[in-house]
Chains A and B, each alone.
Chain A
Amino acid sequence: MTVLLDAVNLHRDYAMAADAVHALRGLSVQIAAGDYVAIVGPSGCGKSTLLNLLGALDRPTQGAVRIRGTDVATLDDRAATAFRLTSVGFVFQRFHLLPMLSAEENVALPMAEAGVPREARRARARELLAYVGLAGRADHRPTQLSGGEQQRVAIARALANRPALILADEPTGELDARTGAEIIALFERLNADGTTIVVVTHDDTLAAAARRVVQMRDGAIVADERLRP
């Protein structure tokens, strides 16, 4: 097993008016390349905080997050941005597509930031949209797409720069059961094609589709179960 991600003794405290809130309390976790991990637990247990630290959106108060040997917690803003651009793909609960861009332009945005030439990113965006089943919707704006379609565009966007890791925060949270099932199937296909996925979810169906389920409570891992190899 090749370790892709190694989080060691992660603490994340938030300074509040009265007292500090300890969102993570010495959490450690390793994730192998090609794995599909669901992080579950009650609201406020620190799932999203962990995801933010793994994706270099936030810095731990203490501890290290090594991805392919690099401690992303120590990166400055410029390096962390470059890391997010090339090594991580984010999928959000509310899709967060840019409303003024078409589906194709949304997918192409991270590639444009990475300096991919126009024609190459256009071709890659079309290819990714076809991959998520939206070949005919490339020119549609987000407002012209259903929730499930928007989430598929967001997944295509996450894949744009061929990241090593996909981090998804409640990707089915805004979708009905049928559309959620389509997204779950898409994640399974992605993982089967070799993409490492870490997903934070309250959705039991989504969690059950993962290979490994990590359960959190009060900022710590309380259970870690492998469902399938």
Chain B
Amino acid sequence: MRAALAVSSLLRNRARTALAVAGIAVATAMLLDMVMLASGMRLSFRDLLDARGFQIRLSPKGTLPFDTEATVGDASALVAAVAAVPGVAVVAPNLGAQLIAPRADGAITVAAIGVVPEVQGDFALRDGRLPQSGEVVASPAALQALSRSLGDTVTIADGWDPQLRTVREAVVRRIVGVGRFYYLGADQPVVALPLSDLQASAQGARADRISSAMVRIAPGRGVDEVAAAIGRTAPRVSVLTTAEAVSQADERLAYFRNLAFILGSVSLAVGFLLIATLMTVSVNERIGEIAVQRAIGVAASRIVQQIVVEGLLLSLLGGVIGLGLGLLTARYLDHILGAFPGLPPEIAFFVFQPRDAFTSLGLLLLAGTFAGVLPAYRAARLPIATALREEAVA
């Protein structure tokens, strides 16, 4: 009967209850978004690294993969040595470079990745096939920027002379595939070509050099164990496991987590204050009614129970609506933030996990419970005779 009374009390002033629920829903939505933001980039970064099934990254000593333009020489020997390490299944070296692609109105810069097509982990084919010597796979942004299609040819060069308005060391390559590049921005013109083709450019400056390599370990082998073995075999490179990379990224993302924590706390406080205010107003309006219930023998604990249940119901209703609202706003915000230039399309700021929803709802229900306790306790401790007299006078 107490639950029914709690529901009836909330329905008595429907407009106020609806406004309170709307307020709680907004606070919950913000709370959920902040909880999602706190772990979202970390999770999506981890998923990005895991996407192609490589567990270890190698980069020139003292750098992080994708962080610099540094390269490491004598790459063939390095790759062979790493491939021979027990537990290593695949080594996928790559070389990054900035190339120039002329077009009718001048030229654009294109990111080029030299890969070993059969084992590469930088892109997935959306159309066409893997490149052989003299061929490239291009990103949709590159095709659009150069007004090209699958099967067309494209001219790429190592340099651009602004005085003569012409390119240097230009070569013509056929576009044999369209790829989705995992680690580069969706808006970025990219071409992938055989590693040997890229190493042969720049008048030999890139010969037998790579920027980094990804390592896939054999099933049943421990990542840390294999990483340590690679480190011993190849002291010239930094060896980074996915867990370490995520951990390092995590440190760099501390700003987001702190921001999310602060805004999430504010949302929770707003929700708490909203419920506490509503319950205080509601209890004050019902002092006489509560005194009468106490007079006819309703226990103080039952009054507390009813008011706390009212707070909980408000939190639950607002919370459930807020979760839906939070998911919608997260999707919208993710769309806005994901459009940031150069950001890999796989990176998401807000990643939904059921645990986040439970956390947000749980925190809000806890806040709702505590918010109802003080007004409930005050109502239960009313001096009954005084409250009845004041009600009669009123």
Contacts and interface: CB of A to CB of B under 8 A. Distances in A.
Contacts of B391: 94, 96
A100 B297 contact: no
Interface string B1-25: 1000100110110000000000000
A93 interface: yes
A113 B302 contact: yes
Contacts of A33: none
Given A58-B383, A100-B12, A94 B297 contact: no
Chain A contact patch, size range: 20 to 34
Chain B interface helix/strand/loop/mixed: helix
Interface stretch (A84-92, A203-211, A220-228): A84-92
Interface in B272-331: 288-289, 292-300, 302
B385 A58 contact: yes
Contact of A101 (B8, B292, B392): B8
Given A98-B289, A109-B1, A112-B1, A84 B383 contact: no
B389 interface: yes
A89 B296 CA distance: 7
A57 B388 contact: yes
A82 B297 contact: yes
B2 to A, nearest CB: 9
Contact of A81 (B9, B12, B300): B300
A77 interface: yes
Interface string B379-394: 0000111001101100
Contacts of A77: 300
B242 to A, nearest CB: 58
Given A98-B5, A101-B8, A113 B299 contact: yes
A90 B295 contact: yes
A196 interface: no
Interface of B: 1, 5, 8-9, 11-12, 288-289, 292-300, 302, 383-385, 388-389, 391-392
Interface of A: 48-49, 52, 55, 57-58, 77-78, 81-82, 84-86, 88-90, 92-94, 96, 98-101, 105, 108-110, 112-114, 157-158, 161
Given A52-B384, A81-B299, A85-B297, 5 more contacts: A48-B389, A84-B295, A108-B1, A110-B297, A112-B1
13 contacts: A58-B383, A78-B299, A78-B300, A81-B298, A84-B297, A92-B295, A94-B391, A94-B392, A98-B5, A99-B289, A100-B5, A110-B298, A157-B296
